[in-house]
Amino acid sequence: MSAYDYIIVGAGSAGCVLANRLSADPACQVLLLEAGGSDLHPFIRMPSAFSLPMNMQRFNWFYHAEPSATLQGRALHCPRGKVLGGSSSINGMVWVRGHPGDFDHWHSLGAEGWRYADVLPYFKKSETVTWPDADPTYRGTEGPLTVSRGTRANPLYDLLVTAAAQAGFATSDDLNGYQQEGFGPFDMSVQQGVRCSAARAYLQPIRQRSNLTIRTQVQVTRVTFDGNTATGVEFRQGRTRHVASSTTRVILSAGAIGSPQLLQLSGVGPAELLRRLNIPVLHDATEVGANLQDHLEVYCQQATTSPYSLNRQLGLLSKGWIGARWLLQQSGLGATNHFESGGFIRSGYDAGRPDIQYHFLPAAISYDGRAPAEGNGFQLHTGPMQSRSRGSVQIISANADDHPRIDFNYMAEEHDWQVFRQAIRTARELFSQNALADVSGAEIQPGAQCQTDQQLDAFIARQAESAYHPCGTCRMGSDDQAVVDPAGQVKGVDGLMVVDASIFPQITNGNLNAPTIMVAEKIAAGLTGETLPSESPPVYQPEQHSAEQHQPGEQTTSATREVDNQHDR
């Protein structure tokens, strides 16, 4: 094959950004390789149908984690997008940047140049927000990816925010702007009722560029090297083996599972592991595949007497009407992901920034659309954001077709259990406020009988599911053990980069699609010489011992919280 300036492995959230930005120079030849196929499928395009492509072999790698001893031996599903757009084509479309403190923490961990002031310009560069009162100090208005909000026509969305205020928590008009902390409307990557994946935002407008070659249905098997320098990649398309050459860089954007897998297959990884599998060791990089992180969540579900529960819309006739309206007008219940409000709080006084997230859904149903609760209800997807547990990704053979061993090591730290219990108890507190209590029936789960720490721990072990946010397996940092440097260059070799969520030093607060796209925007700007100056607008900081910072297990009345909240304001 012809030589390319850049070869990008993976047309997911990061790969689509890189392909767009690097091919903007007509003199730069770019090859983009993707294992999956087209994203132009109605189940991908229709926001409310996101659980369907997530459960289709055609669009999903269908990874499974190792059985977890702390979760009753369950092997949790780890879906990753295998399609143009990657996981942005099968995710829940919740657009969350993370807390400003997350990125300042990255910098403190050795990811120099990744403070919030450094990354804010690239968040703004990536997006176009659609509501008129968005503050341009914090939000983008000319980026490729459209960020919108649901209509919040269902009264339950606003009742959640009202209940949070009654409980003394802060509220925010923009959880991606000045104030992430508190409760308010959630943003979603949806454009005029259709999913706005990275493929739609970044690839679709530039597919015809003559200097951009996109190959789908491709299985990359390894990176090729001349000595210590990456020279290209080997891949299969059908039964044919190909070698593509790179004159500048090979960039792995295969995600938190795929990128460490390819590094290890190529001889960059823990030497002991590679020798055991008879893979020649090019560079002994012990942390390739280490530092795996994820978010877990449970559903805190409440029965409701309200006519607004979406459980009423699960019949065949209702689904048919929703689908028909979306097909004809891209509107109605089919045009939203239904996560239209939620919030972020701190678990206790010692939490330096929010470490619990809530997604509110006006239905009682599992994330994959199966096993709806009997009757009508609503729920909070409830989970800690800053787990201290760390896992790993390791190949099991030299065959790229074999899925690697994925061990999340969930809930290995006692602190994780403490925060999870507090998250559930606070969810119950929110449901008990007048705004929601007036429309609430009995608690569906965990259930009124589940009260003690031991009972909550058993519920978590039995019911916790991944929020599908793996990251961290090719850690970015300035120390010798980091896999990549702060520019995304793989240490110990030349001509090879990793750009995706695997380079996160620490998982962020909230969903990972927005920060993944930001990472790709920032690194692409470094490659093209179009870096943006830092911006340092003020960000919200509550007073010490405010309502957002109550201790885990602390019993605080609504009245006390309201006093604290008024003081904080």
> How far apart are alpha carbons 243 and 251 in whole angstroms?
15
Q: Is 381 a catalytic residue?
A: no
Q: Is 471 exposed, middle or buried (0-12, 13-18, 19+ CB in 10 A)?
A: buried
Residue whose structure tokens are 């077709």: 401
Answer yes or no: are the C-beta atoms of 488 and 497 closer than 8 Å. yes
* Structure tokens that stand for 222 in this block: 């390894």
Give me the half-sphere count of Cα atoms (radius 13 Å) on the Cβ side of residue 540: 24
Beta carbons of 32 and 252 less than 8 angstroms apart: no
Kindly report the number of other CB atoms within 10 A of residue 497's CB atom. 23
What's the Cα-to-Cα distance from 16 to each of 152, 212, 261, 392, 432, rounded to whole Å? 31, 11, 20, 26, 44
Both tokens of residue 408?
A: 């999340």
For residue 386, how many other CB atoms are within 10 A of its CB?
A: 23
Q: Are 143 and 126 in contact (CB under 8 A)?
A: yes
DSSP-derived letter for residue 417 is H
Q: Could you tell me where the DSSP H helices lie in 167-291? A: 198, 255-265, 271-276
Q: Catalytic residue among 338, 469, 545, 567, which?
A: 469
**Per-residue tokens: 73:** 């031996």
Residue with tokens 């092997």: 75
Indicate the helix (H) or strand (E) that contains 269.
strand 268-269
Asked if 75 contacts 60 with a C-beta cutoff of 8 angstroms, the reply is: no
- Concatenating the DSSP letter of every residue in 135-178 gives -TTTS-BS-SEEEEE----SHHHHHHHHHHHHTT--B-S-TTTT
Q: What is the largest CA-CA distance in the chain?
A: 70
3-state secondary structure of 265: helix
Q: Which of 196, 213, 221 is nearest to 397 (CA)?
A: 221
CA-based end-to-end distance of the chain = 63
CA distances from 483 to 85, 103, 255, 266, 522 (A): 25, 18, 14, 14, 18
Asked if residues 138 and 177 have their Cβ atoms less than 8 Å apart, the reply is: yes
Contact 507, 472 (CB under 8 A): yes
Strands 30-33 and 63-64: unpaired
Surface-to-core class of residue 7, CB atoms within 10 Å of its CB (0-12 exposed, 13-18 middle, 19+ buried): buried
Residues noted as catalytic = 469
